[in-house]
Amino acid sequence: MKSVSILAPVDCTMLQAIALRGSGGFCQPPPFPLPSLHRPTTAPPPQRRNNRGSLPIDTPPPYGPVRSDEIDAVARLARHGFGLPRPIFDRYADLFGVDRLRVLRDTAPTGCYQPMACVAHWPVDQWFGGKAVPSQAIALMTVDPTRRGQGIGRALMHDALAEGRAAGAALAVLWPSTLPFYQRLGFGRGGVACRWSAPPALLAPPPAPLPDALAPDALAPDDGAIRPADPRDATPLAALRRRTLEDGNGLIERDEALWSLALCPDGDPADLFLLIGPDGAEGYIALSPPQMSPPQNRRLLVADLCAPTPRALRLARRLLSGYRAQVDRVVWRGGPDDPLALLATDVDVCLEEREEWLLRVLDVPRALTTRAYPNGIETTIAFAINDPLFPENTTVFRLEVAGGRGVIAHGVQDEASSATLGISAFSCLYSGHASATALWRAGLLYGKEKIIAALDRLFCGQRPWMVDRF
């Protein structure tokens, strides 16, 4: 496995004082300061003309990667779109890479090919049904405030989605600042992120497990250990997190930038603890630095948690409950069926925030054939999908599922015996965020009762969730 390392941080007091607005990773505090991309402005070189004298021959295309002389303009767009100060923009651009930035330029005679809008996107793997599906993460989509309402944002997103699709992405995923705009582009509600909180005492594990002859692996009170670890090396953590990815729906397989944000959420490394069983580490928990979290409203912030086994979860509960004298509440992010919330010993568990992320299927055949399905189901279902953005998706697809795998069958297709729905509703069904029955009741899916029941069985599983912000 490729090593994933996180650079040593330095003082980030300035970042802690900035109250960023909006959503998306470019609006979150970066894990450590990085070199500025700002360069002194110099006079541009003389432009060569083509043989007709109409346009410079080095004129950039309307859509494409940001150029070095356009960084200032993109930083200005980010400031107007997200309130992002230039130092924060520079750090994030270096963390994620300027090669992930795309711009849409003004091609009007008076526009001088200046960027009118920008977006960032990069490839990720998103897990559904126990398999990784190639996806496209999208962030920092914003339009010049003087050019909004002219279709520029839609044109930029169309180009960015087409680029991701051509590069092999079956899905696109983002955290929205608005829903109607992205729904018109074919995005549907993909899943949620929940912020939970509870008093530390409610998270304490029971003093001893009840004897149970049917549970020979029941944990003893002193079973396992909690050991500090280095948060700057995420390689062993990625291996521990793999089980959570395989068991859940919607989770992103982190790259180095996302690991940095997970383990250094406030600019400094989190306090990382491995949850040890008889055969080694079974999980981990990362707590935000004590000098920041406990004094702030007496809340302990869990930066990241991976407890895929009963033992690991019990050890995490033991650690968190030990802060009962220092803090009033423990705060963590998880899914709608969070095990910590489920095991709390009283009713003072609070769902403080519930956010939805959006998903769009870019390539229907690839999306249907790269994910996994429940074992024991053998069926054939036809989808009649309407996708105004990508005509290749507007047809009838016949999916055959057996042994947890799906293939697209070719041959005679009877549209009357298929499930008919738009790409937005199909994206919502694909993730499992909404059942076929719920979409049918909402008038977003049309099909016979037998087909709807088969779809519910096919796309069932854990409710999709994701905590990584970008």
Residue 219 has pLDDT above 70, yes or no: no
Q: What is the pLDDT of residue 358?
A: 98
- Cβ of 363: how many Cβ atoms within 10 Å? 20
**Alpha carbons 370 and 36: distance in angstroms, whole number:** 40
**Residue spans per domain, the chain:** 13-39+55-190, 193-210+220-355, 364-458
Identify the DSSP state of 49: B
Identify any residues that bridge with 408 across adjacent strands, giving them in sequence order: 399
Residue 127 has pLDDT above 90, yes or no: yes
Question: pLDDT band at residue 207, thresholds of 50, 70 and 90?
Answer: confident
The DSSP secondary structure of 346-401, one letter per residue, reads SS--EEEEEEEEEEEES-HHHHHHHS---TT--EEEEEEEE-SS-GGGSSEEEEEE
Question: pLDDT band at residue 135, thresholds of 50, 70 and 90?
Answer: very high
Question: pLDDT band at residue 268, thresholds of 50, 70 and 90?
Answer: confident
Question: pLDDT band at residue 212, thresholds of 50, 70 and 90?
Answer: low
Structure confidence by residue, pLDDT tens digits, 375-401: 989 999 999 999 999 999 999 999 999
Q: What is the pLDDT of residue 47?
A: 44
Can you name the CATH fold of 364-458? Answer: Nonspecific Lipid-transfer Protein; Chain A (3.30.1050)
Q: What is the pLDDT of residue 9?
A: 40
Average of pLDDT values for 334-348?
93
**Alpha carbons 224 and 285: distance in angstroms, whole number:** 14
Structure confidence by residue, pLDDT tens digits, 43-61: 444 444 444 344 454 667 8
Question: pLDDT band at residue 404, thresholds of 50, 70 and 90?
Answer: very high
Residue 365 has pLDDT above 50, yes or no: yes
Q: What is the pLDDT of residue 25?
A: 40
Q: What is the pLDDT of residue 24?
A: 40
Greatest extent of the chain over all pairs of C-alpha atoms, in Å: 89
Residue 158 has pLDDT above 90, yes or no: yes
More confident site: 470 or 222: 470
More confident site: 17 or 417: 417
Question: pLDDT band at residue 10, thresholds of 50, 70 and 90?
Answer: very low
Residue 292 has pLDDT above 50, yes or no: no
User: 270 near 263, Cβ under 8 Å?
Assistant: yes
How much is the pTM?
0.84
User: Chain-wide mean pLDDT for the chain?
Assistant: 85
**Alpha carbons 266 and 468: distance in angstroms, whole number:** 14
Structure confidence by residue, pLDDT tens digits, 229-262: 999 889 999 999 999 999 999 999 999 999 998 9
Structure confidence by residue, pLDDT tens digits, 176-197: 999 999 999 999 999 999 999 9
User: 121 near 100, Cβ under 8 Å?
Assistant: yes
The DSSP secondary structure of 291-336, one letter per residue, reads TTTTTTTTEEEEEEEE--SHHHHHHHHHHHHTTTTT-SEEEEEE-T
Residue 31 has pLDDT above 70, yes or no: no
Q: What is the pLDDT of residue 209?
A: 54
State what percent of residues in the chain have pLDDT above 90.
70
Average of pLDDT values for 462-466?
95
Residue 27 has pLDDT above 80, yes or no: no
Residue 23 has pLDDT above 60, yes or no: no
User: Among 13-22, 100-109, 263-272, 460-469, which is the least confidently predicted range?
Assistant: 13-22
In the sheet with 445-446, reading across from the earlier edge strand, the strands are 405-409, 396-402, 379-386, 419-422, 445-446
Q: What angle do CA 143, 144, 149 make, to 5 degrees?
A: 65
Q: What is the pLDDT of residue 18?
A: 35
The architecture in CATH of the region 13-39+55-190 reads 3-Layer(aba) Sandwich (3.40)
State what percent of residues in the chain have pLDDT above 70.
80
Residue 38 has pLDDT above 70, yes or no: no
CATH superfamily entry for domain 193-210+220-355 = Gcn5-related N-acetyltransferase (GNAT) (3.40.630.30)
Q: What is the pLDDT of residue 211?
A: 53
Does this chain's domain 13-39+55-190 share its CATH topology with 193-210+220-355? yes
Q: What is the pLDDT of residue 151?
A: 95
Residue 382 backbone dihedrals phi, psi, to 5 degrees: -105, 135
**Alpha carbons 250 and 76: distance in angstroms, whole number:** 33
